[in-house]
Each structure stands twice: as C-alpha cells, then as structure tokens.
Amino acid sequence: MAPAKRGKKDVSARAVTKSMSKVSVEEDTTDVFLFVPNLIGYARVILAAISLYYMRDNPKVCTVLYCVSCMLDAFDGMFARRLDQATKFGAVLDMVTDRCTTSSLLCFLTAAYPRCALLFQGLITLDFSSHYIHMYTTLVAGSKSHKIPLELQIAPLLPHAMLKAIYADRNGLFYHAIFYYIPSLTWPQILGAVTLPICAMKQAINAVQFWKAAKRLAEIDCEERSQRRAKHIK
C-alpha cells in the first residue's frame, strides 16, 4: 500500500508543479505585453491610426500625430535597453508599425499623385520585401535585433551620424514634404530637397538589405543540406 500511496503523491506533485509552471508562463506572457517599450509601441500604433483618419481633411493634425508616432520609436529602444525589456515581440511590433505607417502614407500619395503611382507602389514593395526577408533571416539566424545585422554590414560604408539620421528619419520627412507640396509654398520644396538624399540612401539600404538577407538564407540552406547529407552518410 505504501508504494501505491507514494506513487499517487508523486503524480499529484508533478501535476501541481506543471500547473504552477503553466501559471508562471501565463504571468510572464502578460508581463511581456505590459513592458514599457511595448506600451510605447501601442501608443505609436494609436497615434498613427488617428493620423491616418485626419490625413485627407486635416493635414496639420495628421502631420503632428504622425511625427510624434515616429519620434516615439527612439524612446521604445532606449527604455528597452535601460530596463532590460528588449523582446522579440517588441522588435516585431516596432518593425510592423514602421512598415504600416510608411506604406499607409505612400498609399495616400499614390491616390494624390496618380502619375507617380507606380513609383510609390515600388517603394512600398521594396520596403516590405526587404524588411520581411531581413526579419525572417535574423530570426532564423538567432539575432536579437532586426536592426543589428544591417548596421554591421552598412556601417563601414557610412559615417555613424548619417546612419543614425537615416534610421531616425524613416523617410517620413521626405514623404510629408510631398504630402504638403503646393507650388505656392516654399518650405515643403526645401524640406523635400534636403531629405531627398536621405530617402534615396534609405532605398539603397533596403536593396542591400534584401540582397544580404537573401544571400544569408541561401547560406543557411546550404548548411542544412550539408548536415542532412552528413547524417545520411553516417
């Protein structure tokens, strides 16, 4: 009888341990969603959504909300490092928010300037495809940040200050200069002329990013194929 009772106690103890670990995982998951950088990310999404609502009827409100949303992008990374709250979820949220806000603005420009629709569609395609394949590659390769590999590959070619400017701008200033373009206004033309080189550089980086990520994926494929062949030989 004693062994049977001991066996029942072991089973119940394992069940309690399993349930406690499950509760712990659920609590940790909730904590991740409530990390400060992720809360900032949610604020960015809300501000961007409201800015899109005002895009056609109130360009000034749209621009202020859009710019605040983009400016918060610098703070989520800062808090993630200081509070040790960098997460994969936060990295994906940051990347998806950037892609959606940029593409939404380009979609509006496509409607506002039908003659340039193909160009804007191409920019959306390049932006989405390069960042998707780059994010996928970094996740497969085990990198902790979707921005690190690109900086390591591009940084030797550019001054550090220029690289920071490219990341901070996110093409927003140039696209908003086009958004505000009126022949009678001079400041959108000046802003567009100043930010055009940065926008062009960002598109070049997107193209390089796509190629580097594709090449890295091909290398991973070759490594996996070699490992499978080695197993078959053994």
The model's pLDDT over 36-81, given as tens digits with 9 standing for 90+, comes to 999 999 999 999 999 999 998 898 899 899 889 988 888 888 898 8
CATH number for the domain including 179? 1.20.120
Q: What integer pLDDT is reported at residue 135 of this predicted model?
A: 83
Number of domains making up the chain: 1
Q: Does residue 156 form part of some domain?
A: yes
Q: Does residue 22 form part of some domain?
A: no
Q: Does residue 11 form part of some domain?
A: no
> Looking at 73, 94, 98, 127, which residue is catalytic?
98
Q: Grade residue 163 by pLDDT with cuts at 50, 70 and 90.
A: low
What's the domain range around 42?
A: 34-233
Q: Does residue 171 form part of some domain?
A: yes
Closest CA to 106 of 12, 42, 170, 25: 170
Q: What is the pTM of this model?
A: 0.73
Residues 6+ apart with CB under 8 A from 99: 127, 128, 131
Q: Residue 225 and residue 231: Cα distance in Å, rounded?
A: 10
Q: What integer pLDDT is reported at residue 18 of this predicted model?
A: 53
Q: Does residue 13 form part of some domain?
A: no
Q: Does residue 6 form part of some domain?
A: no
Q: Does residue 9 form part of some domain?
A: no
Q: What integer pLDDT is reported at residue 54 of this predicted model?
A: 93
Question: Could you confirm whether 98 is annotated as catalytic?
Answer: yes
Closest CA to 200 of 181, 175, 179, 180: 175
Q: Residue 76 and residue 12: Cα distance in Å, rounded?
A: 44
Q: Does residue 142 form part of some domain?
A: yes
Assess whether pLDDT exceeds 60 at residue 215. Answer: yes
